[in-house]
Chain A
Amino acid sequence: MPDPPTALDRPLLLSAAGLERRLGDRRLWSRLDLELAGGERLGLVAPSGAGKTLLLRTLALLDPPQAGRFSLLGRPPAAWGLPRWRAMVAYLAQRPVAGGGTVETNLRAPWRFQERRGRGGWNYERITGWLAALGRDHSFLSYDAERLSGGELQLLALLRTLQSDPTVLLLDEPTASLDGATTAAVEALLIAWLAAGPRAAVLISHDSEQIERFATRTLELPR
């Protein structure tokens, strides 16, 4: 599935070629090519069980390699180092997990990773600004992360990933547990964040209207 040629002002961010994925004897896809340019919001369209989540995990290199060549800003994963790759090609899981402590503890936690040293840190103003856009105030930060609702947990996971400004955001049903108003706020927030730099996103959603609203183009996975 070749992409249309990208314009000069839309730099190529991520490319993956010749992807193949098997699950036992079943071949989910093969010879799959994918390119993402700055500003693109790619919607993944496929029936359940076609391997949408596995494609996102593959791009984040979370699973053992099967086949395919990857490059981010022209450099292969080995040149970046895998932790750096995953910080830049950030996968947001369908079922987010939070550790013990408050929301703030969880938002601060990733900044302690070796990979993040010297790359910024906890930014209270930025986080509370995002929270305000999502209809929450700063008291959300002191909630017990283990007692959050499914929707609140999704917000926490989203901010936890967004705060480090990944180059490519891989969103797996990011609003599945959110109400309509918050979903709209998340979409607006994401579009604004994506526009603020050479960034791109891939979205999986069971809601075809959301794909229509959010995606600049779609990729259909073969059955």
Chain B
Amino acid sequence: MTPSSSGALTISDGRLALSGLLILVNVGLSAALRLGLSRSLLLASVRMVVQLLLVGFVLEWLFRQDDAPLIVLVGAAMALIAGVSAVQRTRQRFAGIYLNSLLSVMASSALVTGLAVTGLIQPQPWYNPQYLIPLLGMVLGNTLNGLSLGLDRFMEGLRSGRDQVETDLALGATRWEACRAVVRDAIRVAMIPTINSMMVMGLVSLPGMMTGQILQGAAPAAAVRYQIVILFMIASATALGVFAVVGLAYGRLTSADHQLRLDRLVKVGGQAEWRPAGAFLSWRRRGRSQEMALGKNNGQQD
């Protein structure tokens, strides 16, 4: 059974256009209250429509493919975007942060999604894009938030808690003993959204995937089963990814000599715009020149 042939009512072009009128409510409010949001609201609406229509075409094409390497490549590209986006939201950076984020996202999502398609859901074949791609997308979207929160909290925690960490180091603590509280706090904060959403799942929120399946004509009891698997996947991938990314950041911002290396941390200005490629390249350059400046001063210690 293919998605297009199943139960949900098809939305015609005219009705789709009509739904766009709903945004005029927002534009009207913004104009009346002089919120200055009209432009961004319209821009965001246009982007959303264009991006989704394009994705619709891409997915139609993708779901017809039967080539494991190609599908895995698409999955890897999704993970790449997620890994880069996770870093985009942080207020501080260090050289190598993108690589750390990518490694964490790829390892955690590949492991968890891999387990799901080979063991839990078992589509035939395992790389069936109709299952693999949406599952991976949901795992990535949530892991991304966890990584952003964890990274940001960890770097900020080290910076604001610097005096406490160095006090402990000066008293003979190892780097782990000195940073443990900051690491724990970062992981805890990163897991809060996942835990919260599981807590109120079904009571406050009906997840999008389940709603979609039900509209599509699936029995709610069956849709719920999918949702349970998905939530466990999200929770474990987020936990693994956050653990990895904070661990890697800890290794980078401390040294084997039990020193705090906040000199490797650079604040970034408000990069609110989503420019993965541009920011990625410009950061690589900045990060490298900063490392070189440090390398110049390195002497031996004893």
Which of A19-65 touch B at CB < 8 Å? Answer: 20, 22, 60-65
Contact among A20, A90, A113 for B174, CB-based, below 8 A: A113
How many positions in chain B have a CB within 8 Å of any CB in the partner chain?
Answer: 26
* A95 adjacent to chain B (CB < 8 Å): yes
* A71 adjacent to chain B (CB < 8 Å): yes
Q: A64-B255, A82-B257 are in contact. Are A110 and B171 (CB under 8 A)?
A: yes
* B259 adjacent to chain A (CB < 8 Å): yes
Contact among A64, A77, A84, A93 for B302, CB-based, below 8 A: A77
- Whether A22 pairs with B257 at a CB distance below 8 angstroms is no
- Whether B166 pairs with A66 at a CB distance below 8 angstroms is no
- Report the bound CA distance from A13 to B299 in whole Å: 23
* B300 adjacent to chain A (CB < 8 Å): yes
- Report the bound CA distance from A93 to B302 in whole Å: 24
* A114 adjacent to chain B (CB < 8 Å): yes
- Whether B164 pairs with A93 at a CB distance below 8 angstroms is no
Q: A65-B301, A77-B302 are in contact. Are A93 and B163 (CB under 8 A)?
A: yes
Q: A90-B170, A90-B171 are in contact. Are A76 and B255 (CB under 8 A)?
A: no
Which of B235-265 touch A at CB < 8 Å? Answer: 255, 257-261, 263
- A12 → chain B closest CB, angstroms: 16
- Whether B171 pairs with A87 at a CB distance below 8 angstroms is yes
Contact among B170, B257, B294 for A93, CB-based, below 8 A: B170
* A86 adjacent to chain B (CB < 8 Å): yes
Contact among B164, B172, B261, B263 for A110, CB-based, below 8 A: B172
- Whether A115 pairs with B170 at a CB distance below 8 angstroms is no
Q: A22-B297, A77-B302 are in contact. Are A62 and B171 (CB under 8 A)?
A: no
Q: Looking across the interface, which residue of chain B has its beta carbon closest to that of A79?
A: B302
- Report the bound CA distance from A67 to B171 in whole Å: 23
* B173 adjacent to chain A (CB < 8 Å): yes
- Report the bound CA distance from A219 to B257 in whole Å: 28
- Whether B302 pairs with A66 at a CB distance below 8 angstroms is no
Chain A 97-116 per-residue mask, 1 if CB under 8 angstroms from chain B, else 0 = 10100000000001001111
- Which residues of chain A come closer than 8 Å to B297, judged between CB atoms? 22, 66
- Which residues of chain B come closer than 8 Å to A92, judged between CB atoms? 170
- Which residues of chain A come closer than 8 Å to B299, judged between CB atoms? 20, 65-68
- Which residues of chain B come closer than 8 Å to A77, judged between CB atoms? 257, 301-302
- Whether B174 pairs with A83 at a CB distance below 8 angstroms is yes
- B40 → chain A closest CB, angstroms: 40
How many positions in chain A have a CB within 8 Å of any CB in the partner chain?
Answer: 39
- Which residues of chain B come closer than 8 Å to A95, judged between CB atoms? 163
* B169 adjacent to chain A (CB < 8 Å): yes
Contact among B172, B260, B261, B263 for A86, CB-based, below 8 A: B172
- Report the bound CA distance from A60 to B167 in whole Å: 11
- Report the bound CA distance from A67 to B185 in whole Å: 35
- A151 → chain B closest CB, angstroms: 17
- Whether A113 pairs with B255 at a CB distance below 8 angstroms is no
- A64 → chain B closest CB, angstroms: 6
- Report the bound CA distance from A67 to B297 in whole Å: 8
Contact among B166, B298, B301 for A62, CB-based, below 8 A: B166
Chain B CB count within 10 A is highest, among A64, A115, A116, A157, for A64
- B157 → chain A closest CB, angstroms: 14
- Report the bound CA distance from A17 to B163 in whole Å: 28
* B177 adjacent to chain A (CB < 8 Å): yes
- Whether A93 pairs with B174 at a CB distance below 8 angstroms is no
- Whether B167 pairs with A93 at a CB distance below 8 angstroms is yes
Task: List 20 A-B pairs, Cβ < 8 Å.
Answer: A20-B299, A61-B257, A62-B169, A64-B259, A64-B298, A65-B300, A66-B297, A66-B298, A77-B302, A83-B169, A83-B172, A83-B173, A83-B258, A86-B170, A86-B171, A87-B172, A97-B167, A114-B174, A115-B174, A160-B171
**Which 4 residue pairs are nearest across A and B when measured between Cβ atoms?**
A87-B172, A67-B299, A76-B302, A65-B301
- Extra contacts, 8 of them, besides A22-B297, A62-B260, A113-B172 (Cβ < 8 A), are A62-B170, A64-B257, A65-B300, A68-B301, A83-B172, A110-B173, A113-B173, A164-B172
